[in-house]
Amino acid sequence: MDRSHFLVFRPRPRKREAPGNRGGPVALAGLSLVVALLAAACASSGTTTTGAAPTTRPAAPATSAPSGGTAASATSAPSGAAAGGATVTMTDQLKFEPATLTISKGTKVTWRNTGQVAHTVTDDPSKAADKSHAALPSGAQPWDSGMINAGQEYSRTFDVPGTYKYFCIPHEAAGMVGTIIVQ
């Protein structure tokens, strides 16, 4: 990973403060800005590739009933993708990030809703308003995550090689579409 774009944060020496005063809202705003800058610097755009073999993590309780596919669950625990897996974030800007992801067969992909707006992860041509937004390789089954609320995630393992084009049902018209290429 190219780390040349990371910012280094060095806090300034603190002024002498009254007892119990730790900076309050100003310090919190500064910390929020640093976190936002680091998140932006670490976020990828465009195409991401991952090829490591997936490992599993303990299953979390399902909060919705996804349809179709294998190894899928929607959870409310905001934890990272399993080692060797890949993560796609769903944002309030109505985007999947990264929009295109290239993975190896057998990789687990986790979609995480990092915003406040509910989304779906759907690859079912019968549910697409624009049929070009949904594509499945031969032998793959359609899937629909159901609504994924803020802080929830949905995962599925891709065992059939080929190109998958998927979309968010409520935001398809706004261009919330993504592509996964399984090699």
Q: Mean pLDDT throughout 65-74? A: 38
For residue 141, the model assigns a pLDDT of: 96
| Gap between the Cα atoms of 85 and 130, Å rounded | 29
Q: Mean pLDDT throughout 65-70? A: 40
% of the chain with per-residue pLDDT over 90: 54
> Any catalytic annotation for residue 176?
yes
Q: Which helix (H) or strand (E) holds 34?
A: helix 24-42
> Any catalytic annotation for residue 168?
yes
| Among candidate residues 146, 104, 106, the one with its CA nearest the CA of residue 122 | 146
| Among candidate residues 142, 171, 151, the one with its CA nearest the CA of residue 110 | 151
Statement: the pTM of the whole predicted model exceeds 0.85: no
> Any catalytic annotation for residue 90?
no
Task: Label residue 24 by pLDDT band (50, 70, 90).
Answer: low
List the strands of the sheet with 100-103, edge to edge.
47-50, 100-103, 177-182, 162-167, 122-123, 143-144
At 84-125, the pLDDT tens digits run 799 999 999 999 999 999 999 999 999 999 999 999 999 999
Active-site entry in 1, 119, 133, 147: 119
Residue 148 corresponds to which amino acid? I
Query: Which of 2-6, 23-27, 37-41, 159-163 has the largest mean confidence?
Result: 159-163
Q: Mean pLDDT throughout 28-46? A: 42
Q: Mean pLDDT throughout 112-140? A: 96
For residue 12, the model assigns a pLDDT of: 58
The structural domains of the chain, ordered by start, are: 47-182 (2.60.40.420)
Q: Which two tokens stand for residue 182?
A: 């399984």
Q: Which two tokens stand for residue 72?
A: 């899928």
Active-site entry in 90, 133, 147, 171: 171
For residue 80, the model assigns a pLDDT of: 37
**Averaged pLDDT score across all residues of the chain:** 72
User: What Cα–Cα distance (Å) separates residue 105 from each residue in 71, 90, 120, 160, 161?
Assistant: 14, 23, 23, 7, 6
